Structure 1
Amino acid sequence: MSNKTPMTVRGAEALRQELNELKTVARPKVIASIAEARAHGDLKENAEYHAAREQQSFIEGRIKDIEGKLSNAQIIDVSTVNAGGRVVFGATVDVLDLETDEEHCYQIVGEDEADIRHGRISVTSPIARALIGKSEGDEVEIQVPGGMREFEILEVRYI
């Protein structure tokens, strides 16, 4: 059993961009801030120095976190998936809430990529878990925090 974490190509690319930004911009900037604060003398009373050290600690921690996530990622290119209309990781799913008659569009992504404002839901969320394996035209009952909801899967896309 692999301990790989599923991630979309877009999610992996976003992490790589953030890592590059941290290493090439943020890290050098904070090192310069520490050097400048050191030049001001007594470090015990130097708030700029302590703030810069704290920022450096945060940046280094985030770099390690991202490197760990990327090293454990199983990157899935959804556009190459041929699931025959079935909902799989990375798929974009249009559903109809049968109670409210509202349409919703969700993409099922890794935990770190989830952003409900942009319609990206975690593969571990109740909605995603209920949709995975189902096909266009299926009706699905989903237990959500607000109670039981019933959705019809209108369309499944792999983009």
Structure 2
Amino acid sequence: MSEAQLLADLATLGIDFVALEHEAVFTVEESEAIHAALPGAHTKNLFLKNGDGTFWLVTVDHARRVDLKALAPAVGAKKFSFGKAEDMERLLGVTPGAVTPLAAINDRDGQVRVVIDAALVDADRVHVHPLRNTATIGLSGDNLLRALAHWNHPPIIAGIPERA
């Protein structure tokens, strides 16, 4: 699905958002200027593969240092490794650097399980990419959950374990 279709779907659901166009960003460090321009919670996303072959998309606060070993049992998985870019593109329609929970709109077969950091759920603004890393949109945590449920990806809400 295209970004225009994604935004139209959000509008159909009555989900308001703020948007910011910017240079391409690939890391949390590169996105610091965006954080200053858009108050609220900023995210990073992990595309993971479980030991049993299932794929997971984990969205966390940008500052979290995720403990992958502890994360797997916390969300009912076996053992995580990072998913391949080809699988990400095939299943979610995005490339590394543009990963976003909104990409669940492209997973029509439900092959990717979505996890949202519990710290993001009540946020007034959660900032994510709209299927590309040259823009950021902010929507409420509640509206993010509503959109994911609408796309048949009701997320697992979890406390994300951090590395020491």
Please classify the TM superposition score into its range, dividing by the shorter chain length: under 0.3
Provide TM-score, normalisation by structure 2.
Answer: 0.23
More helix, by proportion: 1
Provide TM-score, normalisation by structure 1.
Answer: 0.24
- Greater RCO, 1 or 2 (C-alpha within 8 Å, sep 6+): 2
